[in-house]
């Protein structure tokens, strides 16, 4: 069974996540654009991920992979250090890259895959 969740970014072509069996495929999550601060925006990303996961009955502990997109590679250390606040039982696999974003105030964005036995 495949279940597509409503959009979280106002774009009907982008559901917040797609649940396929026991896997949850999370679309891009970002936020906190009101501050030009990587740690603040990383927290907003995690809050957005948590909200989407909670909506489908999962949590960050169910994450198996996260892709982290940064605007500035110089922000890598600060962005990475935010992960310590959100994962106490081990980290998911992670890939980090840099990119330009549609919204120029965006410093970071995350997507990923979670696994939850439903």
Write the pLDDT tens digit of every residue in 34-66.
999 999 999 999 999 999 999 999 999 999 999
Q: What confidence category does residue 8 fall into, taking pLDDT thresholds of 50, 70 and 90?
A: confident
| The pLDDT of residue 118 | 85
Q: Which domains does the chain possess? A: 2-115 (3.30.1330.40)
If you compute the radius of gyration of the chain from its CA atoms, what whole number of angstroms results? 14
Note the pLDDT tens digit of each residue in 76-113: 999 999 999 999 889 999 999 999 999 999 999 999 99
Q: What is the pLDDT of residue 36?
A: 97
pTM, entire model: 0.94
């Amino acid at each position: 069974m495949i279940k597509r969740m409503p959009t979280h970014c106002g774009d009907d072509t982008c559901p917040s996540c797609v649940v396929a069996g026991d896997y949850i495929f999370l679309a891009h999550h970002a936020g906190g654009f009101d501050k030009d601060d990587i740690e603040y925006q990383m927290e907003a990303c995690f809050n957005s991920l948590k909200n989407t996961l909670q909506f489908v009955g999962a949590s960050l502990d169910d994450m198996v992979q996260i892709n982290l997109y940064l605007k500035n590679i110089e922000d890598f250390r600060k962005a990475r250090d935010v992960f310590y606040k959100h994962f106490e039982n081990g980290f998911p696999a992670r890939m980090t890259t840099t990119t330009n974003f549609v919204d120029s105030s965006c410093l970071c964005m995350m997507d990923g895959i979670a696994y939850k036995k439903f």
